[in-house]
Amino acid sequence: MKYEIVIGLEVHAELKTNSKIFCGCSTHFGAEQNTNVCPVCLGLPGSLPVLNQRAVEFAIRAGLALNCEIAEFSKFDRKNYYYPDLPKDYQISQYDLPVCKNGYLDIEVNGETKRIGITRIHLEEDAGKLVHPQTITTSNYAYVDYNRTGVPLVEIVSEPDIRTPEEARAYLTKLRSILEYCDVSDCKMEEGSLRCDANISLRPAGADYFGTKAELKNMNSFKAVQKGLEYEAMRQEDVLADGGAIRQETRTWDEARGVTLSMRSKEQAHDYRYFPDPDLVPLLISREQVEEVRTSLPELPDARKDRLVEQDGLSSYDAEVITASRAVADYYDAVKKLVDDPKTIANWIMGDMMKQLNTRGLSITASPVTPVHLAEMIQLLNKGTISGKIAKNVFEEMFVSGKKPAEIVKEQGLVQISDESAIIAIVEQVIAANPQSVADFRAGKEKAIGFLVGQVMKQSKGRANPEMVNKLLKERL
């Protein structure tokens, strides 16, 4: 039988407020353990939580950016469960009246646009962090750091509209991009400020009901989400093909072994017994406030991509890559203000820049090559002062030294040779030294000219103007 995969994602994103959602403790990542804690976030008796207004504003921002309806009336509820990372034995969350609902985002997979529904976005507090001693299997205890307890989160729940692991990854990439654009979350999976759980089930292709789902956890990168879902879909298909039944359960992705494993836990533990938190009063969100937030929203990835395609003439693919990150898109815009050559700018950013940044683990905002430097280099290139090949060296040198391109070109004598007589001299030398290649070319082996061009470029230390080399060589063959 042919099966269809049905996936829904739950994404938790930490909001980048200064203080926690219900108390004034710092949200700073990486502080010494248990130093950003107070009676409220530790759940000490007699303390009262008070809602952080910026957390609410950020949730509204995220909601509007994801095309959601913003609730006029919202409230907070207690989700009850016992785990050592939860000092109060309940998490303050939202149950039936979340801040946002009924939104969507558009993804593009294999050249086709698809709309993925967003069921809801609610505000909640993060839990603490369990630290296991090195010997997790033998040790009889765990350590708890409550610094993260009470850091504001939005939980973004998608509709079960996702049909392939690849779509799941595209959804996450787009979601992260949107959250980053509206500046509400750092979205760093490695620091845990963005986390993703997935619900996945299979059903016969074309069926109008859902199969039993498994919840997948512990996927620590977008790639892991895709791989975990691919494995889980395969596993479920095998079970069903053998006439078995899928168990509704939570499974964990084991990255090292590349498999999902059942997390056996007591059934009762899933009875969260939500009820309204009497410590917190309801939240009324005025339409004026919503409009205020709406007008403060920046240009979002889709709109920005369209602008790059329609106004700058970039291909859809290039525009997608450039606008995936707001910082990269801002960099692109800054260069374009100085030199109006969109395609060349995009190529340099997507090629040499990304390569250098990735090798050094830098983000584009920390690039030693500023937009001004890149713009100047492109101008040198367009004027013919340097060749494309030399430009690659200049770029690398700019990246290492932070020097201006003109300075590097001058210091290292990299100015392109466009003087015909100088090039002719080298061309004639190369023809004389390589009779075999010359004969090959004359006998019809077109490819032989590539070798000869290469020799000329080598002799000129890459400085000869390649177009002129081609032309002058052909004239003499």
Partner 1 sequence: MAMPPARLVVLLVQSTLHGHFSSGIIIFIMVKYVLLRKVKRMKLTREDVLNVALLSRLEIRDDEIENVTRQFNDIMQHVDRLNQVNTENVRPTAHALPVCNVLRPDVRQTSLPREKAMANAPLAEDGFFRVPKIVEG
Contacting residues toward partner 1, per CB under 8 A: 17-19, 23-26, 32-39, 42, 45-46, 50-56, 73, 75, 80, 82-84, 89, 97, 130-131, 139-146, 263-266, 268, 271, 273-276, 278-284
Out of Zn ion, partner 1, none, which partner does residue 263 contact, by CB within 5 to 8 A per kind?
partner 1
From the list 272, 279, 298, 344, the residue with the least C-alpha distance to 181 is 298
Q: Least distance from C-beta 149 to partner 1, angstroms?
A: 11
- Contacts with Zn ion by CB under 5 A lie at 23, 25, 38, 40-41
Q: How far is the CB of 38 from partner 1 (least distance, A)?
A: 5
- Residue 140 touches which member of partner 1, Zn ion, none, C-beta under 5-8 Å by kind: partner 1
Q: Which does 143 bind (CB under 5 to 8 A by kind): Zn ion, partner 1, none?
A: partner 1
Centroid of chain to Cα 42:
33
Residues 57, 399: Cα–Cα separation, whole Å: 39
CA-wise closest residue to 103 among 53, 152, 174: 174
Task: Tell the smallest beta-carbon distance from residue 32 to Zn ion (Å).
Answer: 15
Which listed option, partner 1, Zn ion, none, makes contact with residue 429 (CB within 5 to 8 Å by class)? none
Report the residue number, 21 or 364, with the smaller CB distance to partner 1: 21
In this complex, which beta carbon is closest to partner 1, that of residue 122 or of residue 174? 122
Which whole-number Å values give the CA distances from 196 to 13, 115, 370, in the listed order?
9, 19, 34
Provide the b/e sequence for 161-186 (b: ≥16 CB within 10 Å): bbebbebbbbbbebbbbbbbbbebbb
Q: Which is nearer to Zn ion, 22 or 399 (by Cβ)?
A: 22
Sorted by sequence, the CB contacts under 8 Å of residue 323 that are 6+ apart come out as 177, 301, 304, 305, 308, 329
**Smaller CB separation from partner 1, 23 or 293:** 23
Q: Which is nearer to partner 1, 19 or 455 (CB)?
A: 19
User: Smallest distance from the beta carbon of 282 to partner 1, in angstroms?
Assistant: 4
- The encoded tokens of residue 318 equal 């290039």
Q: What is the Cα–Cα distance from 187 to 153, expressed in whole angstroms?
A: 11
Task: Indicate the residue among 207 and 281 with the shorter CB distance to partner 1.
Answer: 281
268's contact among partner 1, Zn ion, none, with CB below 5 to 8 A by partner kind, is partner 1
Closest distance of CB 22 from Zn ion, Å: 8
CB 46 within 8 A of CB 53: no
Cα of first residue to Cα of last residue in the chain, in angstroms, is 65
What is the total residue count of the chain?
477
Backbone angles phi, psi at 19, to 5 degrees: -115, 170
Pick between residue 147 and residue 416 the one whose CB is nearest to Zn ion.
Answer: 147
Q: Report in angstroms how near the CB of residue 220 gets to Zn ion at its nearest.
A: 27
CA angle 155, 65, 17 (to 5 degrees): 55
413 binds, among partner 1, Zn ion, none (CB under 5 to 8 A by kind): none
Q: What's the CA gap between 20 and 233, in Å, rounded? A: 38
Tokens of 284: 């009324």
Q: How far is the CB of 96 from partner 1 (least distance, A)?
A: 9
19 vs 465, which CB is nearer to partner 1?
19
**Residue 280's binding partner out of Zn ion, partner 1, none, with CB under 5 to 8 Å set by partner kind:** partner 1
Q: How far is the CB of 113 from partner 1 (least distance, A)?
A: 36
User: CB under 8 Å to 54, separation ≥6 — which residues?
Assistant: 15, 17, 18
